[in-house]
Amino acid sequence: MPPMCMYSSDESGDVKEEWHLNHYETRSVGGAGLIIVEATAVESRGRISARDLGIWDDNHIKGLSEIVKRVKRHGAAAGIQLAHAGRKCTVKHEDIIAPSPLNFDPADSAYSNPREMDEKDINYVINSFRKGARRALEAGFDIIEIHGAHGYLINEFLSPVTNRRNDASPYGGTAENRARFLLEITREVRKVWPEDKPVSLRISAKDYMEGGNEPEDLAEMINLVKNEGIDIVHVSSGGVDAKAVLHPFHGYQIPAAEIIRRETGLPVIAGGLVTDSSMAQEIIRNERADLVFLGRELLRNPYFPLQAAKELRSEINYRPVQYERAYL
């Protein structure tokens, strides 16, 4: 299950028992192998909304560790996505920052004009990711995911659409420079995150805009960064600019994932409107990806993996013994 924002916290950024615990535990009971907790902000101005989860304070560890316990006791692995919204933060009282002072959508009053980040801001955010990783470790997560997709801060540095810093800046212009922010975040995260625990990188493989990134561009930048400790790439697309137009269809992101997998040599998580078991099986059997993510389908049907196992006549370790009669 990929990260999907629940917008169910409050200004505290804390886990709310009445929703978050039930939501994540149910998907573990339903047979998901890896559950990645929603975009969790490494600092308060890194939230997408005022109702996002946070990991910017040690007080957040307790609630997150309860999610981990609920997820893992049914056999799933627990992951968390460390995130910073950058210019897509809609919390009005926050100091909105971005690589360049470009508003995500001037026609929408939810978005503010961001301030261009200076070196002090960049270093602060990099350290915030490291601190977030340390808290995720204390909470007991098996895997962390660095959110470099959907037009949020890391993606804003990676994309030429949103990063207008010139070649004189170490963080702008060339692909190597635009990838530097991600590289330095990954390096700092790996200082506190154990080698035997994976780091996933979520990317937007296509910007869907003229002059924007294509899968080959992302592969180039991933190759510049991967030796810092990236183990798997979680391939998505879009979100970098409000003017971008995409026309999704079943499996629309799978070809991009294949390119990333081939050109980086890293395993990938792929998906995008995958809604039936035979389609998921085809992706894995034909080695188009190594894992398949199910987003909205798992919102509709938390027990999709168990249903798929029955449809595909797959022998699995059927986790909830209380439901075994449904598998016979």
Q: What is the pLDDT of residue 318?
A: 62
Q: Is the pLDDT of residue 315 over 90?
A: no
Domains of the chain: 90-327 (3.20.20.70)
Q: What is the pLDDT of residue 319?
A: 64
Task: Give the alpha-carbon dihedral of 254, 257, 259, 265, to 10 degrees.
Answer: -140
Q: Is the pLDDT of residue 161 over 80?
A: yes
Tens-digit pLDDT profile for residues 189-223 = 999 999 999 999 999 999 999 999 999 999 999 99
Helices (H) and strands (E) in the chain, counts: 11, 10
Tens-digit pLDDT profile for residues 82-109 = 999 999 999 999 999 999 999 999 999 9
| Average pLDDT estimate for 276-292 | 96
SS3 letters across 59-101:
HHHHHHHHHHHHHHCCCCEEEEEEECCHHHCCCCCCCCEECCC
Instruction: Say which residues have a Cβ less than 8 Å from residue 33's Cβ, sequence separation at least 6.
Output: 76, 77, 291, 305
As a whole-number percent, the residues of the chain with pLDDT over 70 amount to 98
Q: What is the pLDDT of residue 202?
A: 98
Mean pLDDT of the chain: 96
Q: What is the pLDDT of residue 29?
A: 94
As a whole-number percent, the residues of the chain with pLDDT over 90 amount to 91
Q: What is the pLDDT of residue 209?
A: 96
pTM of the entire predicted model: 0.97
39: phi then psi, degrees, rounded to nearest 5: -50, 120
Q: What is the pLDDT of residue 328?
A: 65
| Average pLDDT estimate for 40-64 | 98
| Average pLDDT estimate for 253-271 | 98
Tens-digit pLDDT profile for residues 114-159 = 999 999 999 999 999 999 999 999 999 999 999 999 999 999 999 9
Q: What is the pLDDT of residue 17?
A: 83
Q: Which residue has the tokens 């960049």?
A: 122
